[in-house]
Chains A and B, each alone.
Chain A
Amino acid sequence: MGQEQSMSEFRKSVDWERIYHSKEFRRLKSNRMRFVVPAIIAVCMVFLFLWTVQSYIPALANVQLLGFINFSFLLTMILFPTIWLAGFAYTKYVERYVEPYEEGLLKTYGKKEAGHE
């Protein structure tokens, strides 16, 4: 309860609008979005392609590439490691291009803040 109250007081004491418009925050946000937006678009495009091929282009979906293993199945299976690698890449990207700005903000504004490493 005590920690909750001090957090609430801390939040009231911070000039959020100033931080929002600060250079560090804008950089932090744009760096994160630089990964997130293309990644979401890429995921949507890949799945739109996969489902379109499966639904409307059976000649391509059913092309046998390895014995009876066809294009549609292979593409689906390749997505497992590819998307995992994209997730792993995101965590490394955030560590390199987002966290330094987060730490800068926390150092400048978040001395009383709890729950961070």
Chain B
Amino acid sequence: MNNQVLSITVFLVLIAITLVITAISSRRVKTDTDYYAAGRQIKPWQNGLAIAGEFMAAAAFLGISGLIAFYGIDAQIYSICWFVSFFVVLILVAEIIRNTGRFTFADIVAYRLKSAKIRPIIAVSVILVSIVYLIPQMVAAGSLSKLLFGIPSSWGILIVGALMIIYISLGGMVAATWIQSIKAVLLLGCGIALAGLTLSFFHFDVNELFTAVADAPDLGREWLEPGGWLTNPLERYSLGFGLLFGTAAMPHVIMRFYTVATKKAARSSALWTMTFMGVFHVLTFIFGLGAAVLVGSEVIAAIDAGGNAATPLLAATVAGGADTFSGALFMAFVVAVAFITIIAAVSGLCIAASSAFSYDFWFNFIKKGKQTAAEQVRTARISAVAIGLIAVLCALGLQSSNVAYLSGLAFALASTVNLPTIVFALFWKGFTTKGALIGIIGGTLIAIFSVVAGPQVLGEDAIFPLQNPGLITIPLGFLLTWVGSLLTREKESGEKYHELSVRSQSGLGSE
């Protein structure tokens, strides 16, 4: 059987399973809490699995391996920083977020500040971050579908978009959680099997793998040493700090802490996330170095210059070769799982964006909190369809452009805009509505400028020096919000600080 036909068959089987789950979960969605927070019925381990799934995406499974295969061990920074970022989430935000909000992080900020002014602007910011992050994911899905399944990239975008809209509009957070969990289990299984099979070529001795890399004529010791990819030291600090602290501000991550019943469950979720992510990310160097030695970077680059083919080609090689049934089957499985990871990732982003519109903007700002549960669910479903269609149209329009910079922009926006807003709302009495507005609007402009005028877009003519702008933009985001708040006064915000502080730390009055 042709490899691509096998990949498509495995993919269709997995999709059929997820669609059945969506159909079942859609029956359980009756209220706003069911739709946005899965009725707060998700078990901590499953929530941990779903959150871990967000960071075991195609970027991790395919991207990190490709970077390591092409440039050496430097790309491991993604694995360790994503993992450690959940330690930051565990001790700093998981419980506190669960104790203070209802469905979105705008709940926390809007409670302290003037809701009518702050909620719509946060909604716009969340929608912007989510769509900006959705577009490159969908464009990547298009390119991958061409590479992996042999179908036109427009079809790939349409398939991913259609599945995302079906999952989220019907099943809401329940479906998003189940799809993300199933994908995480598949990816963990796939990753462990791939690492085991790869290491079997080196007698299960990591040092033997390293020796093979060092001895390979086209690789060498420098593949095992830092500096092959992150040649500018400032980029290392900037990317690292951005990943460590930016994760805590990603709206689709924050939302997941509302799906569990208690603050203790939120804490437990974050520890489960660390457990699952740790198991997966500790293995990524094996995929990358294994692919460099066993497949060869030239072979990988001949198929995909971005390195995304490293993991599937390694799977085929370690399972007996692409021309054997076992090799073709394992590669097909890896390809299908990689594609499912993209669908799960875009589904999480879609629910974050649609919740920002339907709950923060429509329900709270336009309808002033006056909608029945059924009306809220209907609005949320319509929003999911609309957000999905916008993302599909943007991805179709931009599919022939290089949109990799948009992922960086989404992360820059989240960490520059959301992080100061959350931290100051929870921990600083002097935080004011005007300060927040200055921080959000100013932070958005700074984040956009840093990426659009940076090396990713302008190359050698860049005005902004860093590809990963977090080192400069995050402190500027904090500075703007702080100065803006110092220059203005708001008695009510100070008074509500006491309440929010007690609620966030103790859980008293939480939903």
Contact across chains for A72 and B84 when beta carbons are under 8 A apart: no
Q: Which residues of A contact B282 (CB under 8 A)?
A: 77, 80
**Cβ-based interface call for A45 (8 A):** no
**Cβ-based interface call for B226 (8 A):** yes
Main SS class of interface, A? helix
Measured CB to CB, the closest approach of chain A to B51, in angstroms, equals 13
Contact across chains for B271 and A88 when beta carbons are under 8 A apart: yes
**Cβ-based interface call for B11 (8 A):** no
Q: Which residues of A contact B214 (CB under 8 A)?
A: 68
Per a CB cutoff under 8 Å, which of B244, B275, B508 touches A47?
B244
Q: A61-B226, A68-B214 are in contact. Are A51 and B510 (CB under 8 A)?
A: no
Bitwise interface map of A from 32 to 65 toward B, beta carbon under 8 Å scored 1, else 0: 1001100110010001100100111010011000
Partner-contacting stretch, out of B259-267, B346-354, B432-440 = B259-267
Per a CB cutoff under 8 Å, which of A43, A66, A86, A115 touches B511?
A115
Bitwise interface map of B from 187 to 219 toward A, beta carbon under 8 Å scored 1, else 0: 000000000000000000011001101100000
Q: Which residues of A contact B261 (CB under 8 A)?
A: 115
Near B by CB (< 8 A), chain A positions 97-116 give 101-102, 105-106, 109-110, 113-116
Q: Which residues of A contact B275 (CB under 8 A)?
A: 84
Interface size on A, residues (CB 8 A): 60
**Cβ-based interface call for B268 (8 A):** yes
Contact across chains for A19 and B90 when beta carbons are under 8 A apart: no
Q: Which residues of A contact B87 (CB under 8 A)?
A: 39, 43, 83, 86-87
- A residues with a Cβ closer than 8 A to B are 1, 3-4, 7, 10-11, 14, 16-17, 19-20, 25, 28-29, 32, 35-36, 39-40, 43, 47-48, 51, 54-56, 58, 61-62, 66-70, 72-73, 76-77, 79-81, 83-84, 86-88, 90-91, 94, 101-102, 105-106, 109-110, 113-117
Q: List 17 A-B contacts (CB under 8 A).
A: A7-B509, A11-B509, A16-B502, A19-B498, A19-B502, A19-B508, A20-B498, A39-B87, A47-B81, A67-B210, A69-B210, A72-B226, A77-B282, A87-B271, A101-B506, A115-B261, A116-B262
- B residues with a Cβ closer than 8 A to A are 40, 73, 76, 80-81, 83-84, 86-88, 90-92, 95, 206-207, 210-211, 213-214, 221, 224-227, 230, 233, 236-237, 240-241, 244, 261-264, 267-268, 270-271, 274-275, 278, 281-282, 285, 372-373, 495, 498-499, 501-502, 505-511
8 closest Cβ pairs, A-B complex = A55-B233, A54-B226, A16-B499, A68-B210, A67-B207, A20-B498, A16-B498, A110-B508
